[in-house]
Structure 1
Amino acid sequence: MHAAQDALIHLMILAASSDSAMTEKELARITALIDRLPVFDGFDPERLEEVANACADKLNGPNGLDRVIEDAIAALPEKLQDTAYAVAVEVTAVDLHLEQEELRFLEMLRDSLTLDRLTTAAIEVAARARHRRLPD
């Protein structure tokens, strides 16, 4: 199960850093998702730094972004592809404003997964709804 959990974390890290800066909010969301989602049951939080460093090493290598995405998807059972997209969207939606780079990353991820457009749209709408705040 480590490989699938690591893959999901790699995709969340890519989502958070796709606009070249991972914010405290994004890091907090990643940690909260790891703590809360059943797919991460049994994940040792002490491994998070190791998993993040492995992602960074791959990302800094040849064809880094494509390689991390390809390796992550290859490590996931097909039934977790919607989960992969959902956690990536969840991290990018935390501030309710997506930068162009974040949108491009989500597009790349969508294109790499075998999810239909209706499923990905539903995931995106649900994430925006969960992060909305009352107007001031």
Structure 2
Amino acid sequence: MASNSSKSSLRSPLAHARGLGSAKHGTEHWWGQRLTAIALVPLTVWFVFGVIGHLGADHAAFVAWMKSPFSAVMMILTAGVVFHHAHSGLQVVIEDYISAEWQKLAVLIAVKFVSFALAAACVLAVVKIFIGA
């Protein structure tokens, strides 16, 4: 029992009264955001140069580019990382600016579903082009 009281004495009276403590997930989230941002640098460069390289090209040329296994994988990676990064950033904003717990939960769930649905639609589009369906 003495160990419990010594642990609780390290917290401020207000934190003890509220039952607050470290969530211990902020650093992990911060690193995840930074890693996806770093991953987006080469993916975005690849995407921009790919699109610029096809300016003025017809639909068939663009489809031929997307049928390349390298281009298809890069486009799927780009879509996945973009929507994961966007979801992660929106989550931080939502958690910071929506105070009502039920509203926060509802918006977080909606953002997660929309992010997943948009990423899945992008992947499906690339797969359809790649297999020629």
> Which category of TM-score, normalised to the shorter sequence, fits these structures?
under 0.3
Q: Point out the structure with max Rg over C-alpha.
A: 2
**Higher relative CO (CA 8 A, sep ≥ 6), structure 1 or 2?**
1
Q: TM-score, normalised by structure 2?
A: 0.27
For normalisation by structure 1, the TM-score amounts to 0.26
